[in-house]
Every structure is written in C-alpha cells, then in structure tokens.
Structure 1
C-alpha cells in the first residue's frame, strides 16, 4: 500500500511539473556542429514556460558533463531579427536580448518567410529554394542568401521554426540536427 501511495504522489508531481514546462519539440535533439574541421554534438531541448522559451543544452567534454541554457522572452519569440551565435559556456544561463533567438526564427520572421517567400535575419535576405525534405513530420523550408551563399533548412512549424541545418555559413559554423 505504501508503495502505491508513493508511486501515486510521484506520478502527480511529474504531471504537475509538465504543466509548468511544456516541451515544444518532441524530445531532446542532437545538434551536430562543425567548425574548422572540429565536430561537437550537443543535446538540446526547447521548453516553453509562461511566455518564454528556454533552450537547455548539454555536452560531454573531457569526461565531464557540461550544460547551460539560453532564455528568450516574449519579445524575442515574436519579433527578433537575428540569430545569436554566442558559444555555449558551461554553467552559463544566458538571457538573450529581445532582438535575438537561438537556433530558431521569431514568429514575425517565420510569417514573413511564409507570406513573401523571403526572410531578413541578421541583416541578410534569404529566399526560398524548395521544401523537398522533411523532419519531425514537417517540411523543411530551404532558403539561401544570394550574396554570401549561406543556406538554412527551417522546420515549417509556426510554434517553433527551428533552423534544422545550415551550410556555407560565412561565420564558419554549420550545424545539423540528427
């Protein structure tokens, strides 16, 4: 009987915890970053709490688990105009500025992409090339910058328009979700 009572309490606590932190992606995603011949694999999860989105990341480096987070408020989620390329640092919990998101587009940028088939982010204009690939059951919108050749594949999801893959990034860092 005592065992059943404890299990019931744990189940209730688990359920109430999920009311406060909703995952907006199905599971933890594995982001594979490549920069100057090096590869790093970060586990990331996106969670929505109240009117903010939190990205929790982690990586095993030198036999030690490193982790941190990025937080984006309502203004970032709705109106941001640039991606943050701030490198993750162990133990850091970063609140991004209202102009920034990390690894996803703001809702206004996503709306612009869907309505005009172009997108301006980081002061760069991207145009839609195709939507031939899929991930997590959604089409991937393939966009390209005509000036520097940077390409992104964006999850066609109005809740979280995740940048699924990049290549030819002029900053040198490219990633893909596996």
Structure 2
C-alpha cells in the first residue's frame, strides 16, 4: 500500500516538473500578427541559430500559395545591434542584415542594458522599462516605453532569445503581436 502512494507521489512530482519545464521551452514556430494601415498579415516565424548567426525563417500563405524568405542577423548584430530592421519580407529573399541590425529580437548588448539599467536604446530611441506584469511562454514580458513618441515594446525576458513579442504605437505604424504558439497550427487548418 505504501509503495502505491510513493509511486503516485513520484508520478505527480514528475508531471508537475514536466509542466514547469514545458512553460519555459520555446516552440519551433511562432505566429506574428502584423497590423499596418488597417491591414492584418499573419506570418509564421521560426528562429534558428547556427554559429552565432540568427536565422529568422518566415512564411505566409498569400493568394493560395506559400511565400517565404528569411532575415539573417550576423554575429555582430546579435552582440551589438542597435536597430530593428523594419523592411517588409519579400518572397524568396534571404535578407542579410547589416551588423547594426536585428530582426524582431534585441541584441545581447541592448538586453543587458535593459536588465541592468532599466533602459536601452534602439533605432536612436531610448526605451524605459515600465513593468513586468505580462507573461508569455512562462517568461515575463518586459514592457518598455519610448518616452518621446509613446512607442511600446514587450520583450520576452529570455537571455538566449529576447524576442520583441509585441510592438504598439510604433511611430512607423508597424505594430505586431506574437500569438499563442498553438495559433500556428490553427492557421494551417
């Protein structure tokens, strides 16, 4: 009888640890929902790292066919990048970003500044940490605000991949939000 309780206890602990671990695992593909001038576009995006180069492979179903391409962030961009690339994806284009740019993530330098100083500079704009109230994938989202123009970013508090999870009130009017990963599979149906 005691063995049965011990076994059940071990199973319960294992299940709860598995749930905790699963909350902090990045899915392979995320669904980015963009809004620009009243239009909505949904891109499936997958981040892959190879030799400290970050590949962001994207695809979208348009006109009954898949379009795809990528953004390639160099090791210099991953380390010291100080601006986000806002160039629209082009079908079949694998865009190598200049060393100062990243695509939808902060550089290590900017992330470190945000964590240590509560602010960082990107695109010649200073963003100040406002709160950490939201969460995504089991990680806090660092809500940052541009004090001059009111742009807002929610950044995944993940040192390995600090994704700009949400952009709102962007002066360029390019706003987005990452939907729950399960939405990727709903989009395919």
Q: Could you say which structure has the higher strand fraction?
A: 1
Equivalent residues, number:
155
Larger radius of gyration: 2
Structure 2: runs of 5 or more not aligned:
1-24, 180-189
Deviation at residue 64 of structure 1 after TM alignment: 1.1
Q: Could you say which structure has the higher helix fraction?
A: 2
5 Å-filtered alignment, 1:109-128, equals: 109-128=110-129
Name 1:7's counterpart in structure 2: none
**Alignment TM-score, normalising by the size of structure 2:** 0.81
Name 1:171's counterpart in structure 2: 172
Structure 1: runs of 5 or more not aligned:
1-23
Deviation at residue 52 of structure 1 after TM alignment: 0.6
2 CA distance for matches of 1:150 and 1:73?
Answer: 26
CA RMSD of aligned residues (A): 0.9
Could you report, residue by residue, the CA deviation over 1:120-170 in whole angstroms, capped at 9, with x for unpaired residues?
Answer: 000000101100010011000000001000000000010011000011000
Deviation at residue 72 of structure 1 after TM alignment: 1.1
Name 2:106's counterpart in structure 1: 105
1 CA distance for matches of 2:37 and 2:88?
Answer: 15
**Alignment TM-score, normalising by the size of structure 1:** 0.86
Name 2:88's counterpart in structure 1: 87
2 CA distance for matches of 1:117 and 1:88?
Answer: 31
